[in-house]
Amino acid sequence: MKMQYNVLNNFSLKSHNTFGILAQAKYFSAITNTTVLKQIIGQSVYQKEAKLVLGGGSNILLTKKFDGLVLYSQQKGFVKLNENKKNIWIKFNVKY
């Protein structure tokens, strides 16, 4: 199934950068699910680009242009992967 997505050129990362420092990405796309992710990275134009995955946290400091594709995860929720009498394994997709 094809899903719609946008890849933006020369995107400002200021709002995603610790301390709000000016920086840009050559390409930027918000990822809402794995289908969109696969479609974007499957495009030949992006296959050879460096990739950086960002979440909603403030744990990154970019000081210059990122010459590649920034993938901004907007996935939320969790999935139970496995369970036994002692443990439950959960995969979280968190957006703050």
Per the DSSP assignment, residues forming a β-bridge with 30 are 72
pLDDT tens figures, 72-83: 887 766 667 788
Q: Residue ranges of the alpha helices (H) in the chain? A: 34-42, 44-47
- Rounded Cα distance, 81 and 85, in Å: 14
Q: H or E stretch including 69?
A: strand 66-73
94 close to 51: Cβ distance less than 8 angstroms = no
pLDDT tens figures, 32-90: 887 888 899 889 999 899 998 887 655 788 889 999 999 988 776 666 778 888 777 76
SS3 64: coil
pLDDT at residue 1 above 70? no
pLDDT at 10: 97
Domain spanning 8-92, CATH class: alpha beta
